[in-house]
Amino acid sequence: MMRVGIYLIVKGLCIASLALGGSIIGAAVASERGVVTGGVMHSIPGWFKESFLDMAEDVEEAAEAEKHLLLFFHLNGCPYCDRMLEESFESEPLTGFIQQHFDSIAINVQGDREVVFSDELTLTEKALADRLNVWATPAILFLDQNNQPVARVDGYRAAARFEQVLHYVSSKAYQSTSLSDYMQTMLKRDVYALRNSPLFTQTTDLAAIKGPLMVIFEESSCYDCNEFHDGILAHPLVAKELEPFTIVRLDAASEQEMIGPDGRATTPKALAEHYQMIYRPGVLAFDGGKLIRRHDSLLFVHHFKESMRYVAAGYHRHQSYRDYSAARTEELLSNGVDIDLGRPELSRD
């Protein structure tokens, strides 16, 4: 059985940004007020199942075809949903594999359609997303033949990593191992060479660090680490918000002895496992030794910088991230600052 996520700190992505203005596709209507750009409308693939959203019935039909049920929680205009749909659901070989092994159903996290999730639970799409703590999109939930969750992915995943998640579920490996252990066994180890950065502090004692601390988990299986360095960490808007942080990059495969933020002896590998960090690069943000933000999926510039600002400036001490994001978005727009939610342009040199 899947361990339902212990750490629900991630979050914030498209949903928080859309809470204020509805669609993020709109054009500017007043020059004195900033606009939100970078949203991408993307149609759900036509081969997704047309469902009456009775999960027990859908699970039964999937089981008869020897398939699992895949619930794709999405949001209109979400750039992360667009990228994952394009790379994994609309590109071979994954398209054919998903169709062969899964019945896929789209759930709009702001939708009003009624979902019969179980005999005891009937609610709208939006209420279901809230019930399941879906704060980031896309979120993908896999159900077995007994209508039980066996795996969950929050946020974007590179196609190569998502392929391993699909194999984990379709082969029923969840009956004998955790998703994180399975991923560590199956992933290729030669796709990325860990890069140095002047931002990084070399230390083996995280408990000794005063003030905001960012821990970045990378390893040689990281498909998105180069983009993280070149498009996110190097971006001027991000750099400004990182100034208060001590930033420590760890090789998530390393078993070198170190001291964790709580003062206990550990290793980078054990620390990543403790915080259930599956995605690379994964980011943890601490303040005063307390975990404030956990990012186990790809973030673009605006969401990443605002998450770090929330920690470094101490907003977490008196308001939730959702409240902070809403107020901050309104502050920026009211001051004529445009907000770009999209993927940063990377140099092709």
pLDDT at 10: 42
Residue 31's pLDDT band, with cuts at 50, 70 and 90, is: low
Residue bearing the bigger pLDDT, 122 or 1? 122
Residue 20's pLDDT band, with cuts at 50, 70 and 90, is: very low
pTM of the model: 0.84
Residues across the chain: 349
**Mean pLDDT, to the nearest integer, of 15-43?**
65
pLDDT at 135: 81
In CATH, the architecture of 40-186 is 3-Layer(aba) Sandwich (3.40)
Residue 267's pLDDT band, with cuts at 50, 70 and 90, is: very high
Please write the tens of the pLDDT for every residue from 78-101.
999 999 999 999 999 999 999 999
- The yes-or-no verdict on residue 77 having pLDDT over 70 is yes
Residue 345's pLDDT band, with cuts at 50, 70 and 90, is: confident
pLDDT at 5: 40
- The yes-or-no verdict on residue 167 having pLDDT over 50 is yes
Q: In what order do the strands lie in the sheet with 102-108?
A: 102-108, 68-74, 139-143, 149-154
pLDDT at 335: 96
Which residues are within 8 A (CB) of 44 and not within 5 positions of it... i.e. 6 or more apart?
72, 74, 85, 106
pLDDT at 198: 97
pLDDT at 310: 99
Please write the tens of the pLDDT for every residue from 229-241.
999 999 999 999 9
**Mean pLDDT, to the nearest integer, of 1-29?**
44
**Mean pLDDT, to the nearest integer, of 114-130?**
94
Which residues are within 8 A (CB) of 140 and not within 5 positions of it... i.e. 6 or more apart?
70, 71, 72, 73, 152, 153, 165
Extents of the domains making up the chain: 40-186, 206-340
- The yes-or-no verdict on residue 243 having pLDDT over 80 is yes
- The yes-or-no verdict on residue 26 having pLDDT over 50 is no
- The yes-or-no verdict on residue 24 having pLDDT over 60 is no
Alpha-carbon distance of 89 to 3, in angstroms, equals: 25
**Mean pLDDT, to the nearest integer, of 169-177?**
98
pLDDT at 119: 87
Average pLDDT, the chain: 91
The alpha carbons of the chain give a radius of gyration, in whole angstroms, of 20
pLDDT at 9: 41
Dihedral of alpha carbons 136, 133, 311, 285, sign: negative
Residue bearing the bigger pLDDT, 19 or 60? 60
Angle at 343 between CA 304 and CA 14, to 5 degrees: 60
The three-state (H, E, C) secondary structure of the chain, written as one string: CCCCCCCCCCCCHHHHHHHHHCCCCCCCCCCCCCCEECCCCCCCCCCCCCCCCEHHHHHHHHHHCCCEEEEEEECCCCHHHHHHHHHHHCCCCHHHHHHHHEEEEEEECCCCCEEEEECCEEEEHHHHHHHCCCCCCCEEEEECCCCCEEEEEECCCCHHHHHHHHHHHHCCHHHCCCHHHHHHHHCCCCCCCCCCCCCECCCCEHHHCCCCEEEEEECCCCCCHHHHHHHHHCCHHHHHHHCCCEEEEEECCCCCCEECCCCCEECHHHHHHHCCCCCCCEEEEEECCEEEEEECCCCCHHHHHHHHHHHHCCHHHCCCHHHHHHHHHHHHHHCCCCEECCCCCCCCC
Alpha-carbon distance of 218 to 249, in angstroms, equals: 7
The two structure tokens encoding residue 341: 């939610």
pLDDT at 184: 82
Alpha carbon distances (Å) from 144 to 58, 96, 173: 11, 20, 12
- The yes-or-no verdict on residue 3 having pLDDT over 80 is no
Please list the residues that pair with 106 across neighbouring strands.
Answer: 72
- The yes-or-no verdict on residue 17 having pLDDT over 80 is no
Total Cβ atoms within 10 A of residue 57: 13
Residue 185's pLDDT band, with cuts at 50, 70 and 90, is: confident
Q: Are 40-186 and 206-340 the same fold in CATH?
A: yes
Please write the tens of the pLDDT for every residue from 186-199.
877 789 999 999 99
**Mean pLDDT, to the nearest integer, of 19-40?**
64
Q: What is the CATH number of domain 206-340?
A: 3.40.30.10
Task: Identify whether the C-beta of residue 201 lies closer than 8 Å to the C-beta of residue 233.
Answer: no
**Mean pLDDT, to the nearest integer, of 307-324?**
97
- The yes-or-no verdict on residue 278 having pLDDT over 60 is yes
**Nearest CA-CA partner of 129 in 144, 141, 145:** 141
pLDDT at 107: 98
Dihedral, 205, 208, 213, 218 alpha carbons, nearest 10:
0
Residue type, 325: S
As a whole-number percent, the residues of the chain with pLDDT over 70 amount to 90
